[in-house]
Amino acid sequence: MLSARSLFQEIIDNDDSFQLFCSIAASGETQGGWENGRIAALVPESMRGLAPKISRHGADEDKHGRIFDALLKRRHLEPVPVPPETDYTLLLERHGIGLAHEKLRRDEQLSVEDIVVYLSHSRVTEQRAADQMDMLVKHFGDHPELGRAIRMICDDEDNHLAYCHEELLRLAAAGHGRTIHRVLRESALTEIKVYRDVSLAVMGHMGRLLQWPKVKSAALAAGINGMYGYERLGGWHRMVSLRMPERRGALDGPATPAPAF
């Protein structure tokens, strides 16, 4: 019987598939760290109070990248190139989710609307990240090799999501509600397509590495497409709602270290 637990167990038990999984994860986290670091440096003067929180967000993402690299090193494995079709962060940017890298590379101050758009995009993508980490903690939170790493990353992702909720609610109260509503909806409907495509690509690569039979790969593809259908029909709404989080000021203060990694 196919299940998230059995599939992920199969992936982490094989060095080649584990190497690809960690390489994809590390690349995405490191890219997110760079993006947040650049945004923190370019925040408009009127919003400088947000800069430390954005910087903390970027530091957390950098830390996650180092954690996945460390998991590879523990098995004496090196990172491998990330196939472009599995690069979630790259594909989101190509579809207009996230501030363009061309803009972030320039030393020009961002606008207030840029920050509103950035936080709206982040609310959507952090929901996905939090959901994925919750699933991994549920099944592998006590795993001797991965448990501590995924629990640490999961806690950070919950902080990131809480921060997005809190800051977007503050900005909505300041008059940016219409922009936030529009960008959240557009971002969610785009993200679910990108996530489906990336999931199909990742499972395709894993299937070849693990020599899955065609019927198993077909069943997985059907499941991924079925999840996309559910999200397209209404599941995406969980990615756009806003509520005041229980964790207030989740990104106040410095990033938490990960000395074991």
Query: What per-residue confidence (pLDDT) applies to 38?
Result: 97
Query: What per-residue confidence (pLDDT) applies to 261?
Result: 63
The mean of the pLDDT values for the chain is: 95
Tens of pLDDT, residue by residue over 69-81, are 999 999 999 999 9
DSSP notation for 192-226 = HHHHHHHHHHHHHHHHHHHT--HHHHHHHHHHHHH
CATH architecture of residue range(s) 4-239: Up-down Bundle (1.20)
How many angstroms separate the CA atoms of 62 and 54, rounded?
Answer: 12
Residue 253 pLDDT level (bands cut at 50, 70, 90): confident
Tens of pLDDT, residue by residue over 209-242, are 999 999 999 999 999 999 999 999 999 999 999 9
pTM of the predicted model as reported, rounded to 2 decimal places: 0.94
Helix or strand (DSSP H, E) at 103: helix 101-105
DSSP, collapsed to helix, strand or coil, labels residue 78 as: coil
Query: What per-residue confidence (pLDDT) applies to 158?
Result: 97
pLDDT of 259 above 90? no
